[in-house]
A and B are shown apart, each in its own frame.
Chain A
């Protein structure tokens, strides 16, 4: 009878343990072991988004972002975000690497949560070497499930593989490319 009396309490302890271990498991797979700021996503993305190229000109070209074939590194930034300013030099160096090493990767910067005039001022001041675009409709952040800026997404053949939350550097970008090749 005593063992029967203890049974519900044992069950409760086992239950609590399983809940905590389930939470732990979900956050300790794959990339997260390398760096907890890498978040696995694995999601197809269908885009048909009207964007404006930011090139310092107020009347710059409007494009439709609809195809992310091959490996694309998509960096989300805003002009008011300090880590975004700090990572520009790293992203520029990485773009130089893409040119010099002839890497099969596209680097795209997408300005979100911002005013177009501030995005243009940012471009003029910090001069990113990579393709930089402005989200005209302020909706692309939801399509990528962006939580804040800066965030960098690794997209392969229209599938978001994973993202990196926070300020990025060349080492992290190279690690991301290595991981992408496994998919």
Chain B
């Protein structure tokens, strides 16, 4: 009975460690998939096998093992390489202006054009 208990404990420890490893691997992949490889064309760190991407994966692995959160790790890479390292750059500051201004100008132009057309039609009617 004692031997069975010990085997069960060993099995549980093994399962727990395997589960933990799978979670870590998943977290490493998820983080590396949100970072662009700075020396590749359109590839994330997860997709790239470049030397720099391998170093970045190593850093992610160390930081995950230190218990750092995903946000903390992404912030660390932003500090090293800037916002462009993110696969989805944050929409803020000048970037926000770049997103908002073109559609705003388009909408404003359509509005002005509609007003002008309506006014011309009204004038013709008179």
Contact of A142 among B55, B98, B113, B116 (CB under 8 A): B55
* A9/B94 in contact, CB under 8 A: no
Query: Given A5-B113, A139-B58, A147-B39 in contact, is the A113-B52 Cβ separation under 8 Å?
Result: yes
Contacts of B108 in A (CB 8 A): 7-8, 11
CA distance A70 to B77 in the complex (A): 26
B interface bracket (residues with beta carbon within 8 Å of A)? 20 to 34
Q: Is A34 part of the contact surface with B, judged by Cβ < 8 Å?
A: no
CA distance A78 to B55 in the complex (A): 14
Q: Is A170 part of the contact surface with B, judged by Cβ < 8 Å?
A: no
CA distance A145 to B98 in the complex (A): 27
* B55/A141 in contact, CB under 8 A: yes
* B52/A148 in contact, CB under 8 A: yes
Q: Main secondary structure on chain A at its contact with chain B?
A: helix
CA distance A138 to B59 in the complex (A): 8
Contact of B105 among A11, A112, A138, A142 (CB under 8 A): A11
CB distance from B116 to the nearest CB of A (A): 6
What residue of chain B has the Cβ atom nearest to residue A2's Cβ? Answer: B116
Contacts of B77 in A (CB 8 A): 142
